[in-house]
Copies of this chain bind each other. A is one copy, B any other.
């Protein structure tokens, strides 16, 4: 039997169960507001959003692999393209652009022009240090760790800070030997 072809992000997005984007956006906004109230320090909120994203990412990767028919990527370049074109589309309904590769092929940027997380969001002056979308970078870090790639994900551009797009830099730190991807305590 020939191998099953990977499915496009569009095809998957159409076929999976979905909820209203505005509900998601407002729910996410409610989390951020809650964390700002509970934790007070913006840096702590950034850390917490990243950790929440990580916890989501290590589970979402299962759904991604199950629904997308994507098999092992040959290298980090292919991985980045798959995240941008299939992963983002499948979960958020938008696609990202991969750009700004370094010479080694171990660092690149994912650029989002459209980001459902920030619809209707404006940051007050008191939140200037906040990385509002830090959950996204956490999700990517968590998901990649489950397929043996340790990465560091940092925000380079942020429309809520006045930039013209969202840009995350993804840096491959090391490729760890493949292990059984589930942790007993998760």
Contact = CB atoms under 8 A, between A and B. Distances in A.
A104 interface: no
A28 B27 contact: yes
A173 interface: no
Nearest to A22: B63
A144 B19 CA distance: 21
A33 to B, nearest CB: 8
A93 B23 CA distance: 11
Nearest to A18: B18
A20 B52 contact: no
A91 interface: yes
A26 interface: yes
Contact of A34 (B17, B23, B48): B48
A90 interface: yes
Nearest to A139: B23
Q: Decide if the interface of chain A is mainly helix, strand, loop or mixed.
A: helix
A130 interface: no
A52 B38 CA distance: 13
Nearest to A56: B26
B92 A22 contact: no
Interface of A: 13, 16-24, 26-28, 30-31, 33-35, 38-39, 48, 52, 55-56, 59-60, 63, 90-93, 116, 120, 135
8 contacts: A17-B21, A17-B22, A18-B21, A19-B21, A19-B116, A20-B91, A23-B92, A30-B52
